[in-house]
Structure 1
Amino acid sequence: MSDSVIRSAREEDLEGIWAMLEPVFAAGETYTVDPDIDRAGALSYWTGGKKVFVVERNGELLGTYYIVRNQKGGGSHVCNCGFVTAAAAQGLGVARMMLEHSLETAKADGFRAMQFNFVVASNKRAVEIWQRYGFDIVGRLPEAFHHPRDGYVDALVMYRKL
């Protein structure tokens, strides 16, 4: 992945971002987004009021993430992120690269902590990566997510101080 770069998303990236979001949202396995969401809705969800980045290698988008304040007012020092890796880039370290970048970005932007509000417990790969990077499971919401294959599964709240 050394030839990959992470940069701010641009208008011309929207089609590539949609191409990554569409299969993930349609699968309904990791995000609490309507699986039938259309392009405009998905892009609005992903980019609206958020700082959005893409991972690019040789003109191809391999992943995207956003960073945003998790709460307003007294909770605005904690950020939240969402991550999606392109299907063809699964297992290449893209998620770890985005996570490392997001932690650096969060610190540079003055956040004091990062929180993932709703990590689907059956998304074991994500849970393991987040834990490897120092995130603790601080809450468990029993059967809060209806997974299309696994039925009702827990959702996790994961948190890490920066």
Structure 2
Amino acid sequence: MSRATRRVDYWQDPAAPKPTSRKTSASVFVRDEAGRLLLLKRVDNGLWTIPTGGVKKGETVGQAGVRECREETGLDVEVTGLVGVFSTPDHVIVYLHGDRVDEVRQPINICLRARVIGGEVAPEPAEATDVRWVPPETLDEYPIHPALRARIDHGLTESVPFID
């Protein structure tokens, strides 16, 4: 999708458009030694999120998570585990290019645990306007979509992977 594409997320909204596709994405749940969580502010909708993006042809879910984290934050990570698989039909994403709907997607997200092994925080301007290490007790201060917050909350409170 073009970087000029806008994204509108729906959550448990009966008026949301019907999905036209499903696509797998990988996200990474990264904490530092102090227990803070890596968040970035998305360019396409202004919401805070963990590094997330689509799995490309020819790569594994783990490779996608590592790549997306590097692209969006400048940090290199290694995968250490699984937060869960999130595929609820309650979450629908509409991608718009101008006023034209490009796609209406019901996502399938595989959220991975990861740790930083290198790099420096340097948000890619086309991906993120800000990258921060956020103490979990301050998460309510950040606008985070409910679907993403479910991943984060599970990662913070559970060691057994979530599957829906």
Bin for the TM-score computed over the shorter chain: under 0.3
TM-score normalised over the length of structure 1: 0.23
Higher RCO (C-alpha 8 Å, min separation 6): 2
Question: Relative to total residues, which structure has the larger helix share, 1 or 2?
Answer: 1
